């Protein structure tokens, strides 16, 4: 879809691509992009996290937030600390009861199942003071 918006003498074109429909409805979802992936990290009333591959046009379920975490007004960011290009660290802050969580992520599209199992799988864990990432 190509739309044009005019601002006085300036015309901006924006190109949108229709993506495959999500497996569930999301409201106020937090997303992080990583190469050809979009990580969708929960939302209001939905604790599930998905990864979307832009080239493959597919979603995969990856994990859920802990049951006691309420995701109202949460924020997810990528922490740039890893030397390994295939692994990233995500931090999740906020929510109704002010959580701080961390998750190590290795792409689910790279057939890295053994490596994912090595560090306990994709899961959000509580981030405490003095914890080394």
Q: Taking the domains of the chain in order of start, what are their residue ranges? A: 20-126
The 10s digit of each residue's pLDDT in 53-76 is: 988 899 988 899 998 888 888 889
Pick from 111, 115, 124, 132: nearest CA to 30: 124
Name 44's Cβ contacts closer than 8 Å, sequence gap at least 6: 27, 28, 71, 72
Spatial separation of the C-alpha atoms in residues 11 and 107, rounded to whole Å: 38
Spatial separation of the C-alpha atoms in residues 84 and 87, rounded to whole Å: 6
Give the lowest-confidence range in 9-23, 43-57, 118-132.
9-23
Residue 98 has pLDDT above 60, yes or no: yes
> How far from the centroid of its chain's Cα atoms is residue 56's Cα?
17
Alpha-helical runs (H) found in the chain: 113-118
CATH 3.40.640.10 corresponds to the domain 20-126? no
């Amino acid at each position: 879809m190509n739309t044009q918006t005019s601002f006085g003498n300036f015309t901006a074109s924006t190109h949108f691509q229709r993506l495959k429909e999500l497996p569930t409805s999301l409201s106020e979802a937090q997303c992080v992009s990583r190469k050809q992936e979009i990580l969708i990290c929960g939302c209001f009333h939905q604790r599930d996290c998905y990864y979307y591959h832009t080239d493959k046009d597919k979603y995969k379920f990856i994990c859920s937030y802990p049951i006691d975490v309420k995701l109202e007004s949460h924020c997810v960011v990528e922490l740039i600390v890893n030397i390994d290009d295939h692994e990233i660290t995500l931090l999740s802050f906020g929510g109704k009861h002010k959580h701080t969580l961390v998750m190590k992520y290795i792409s689910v599209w790279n057939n890295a199942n053994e490596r994912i199992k090595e560090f306990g799988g994709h899961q959000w864990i509580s981030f405490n003071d003095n914890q080394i990432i």
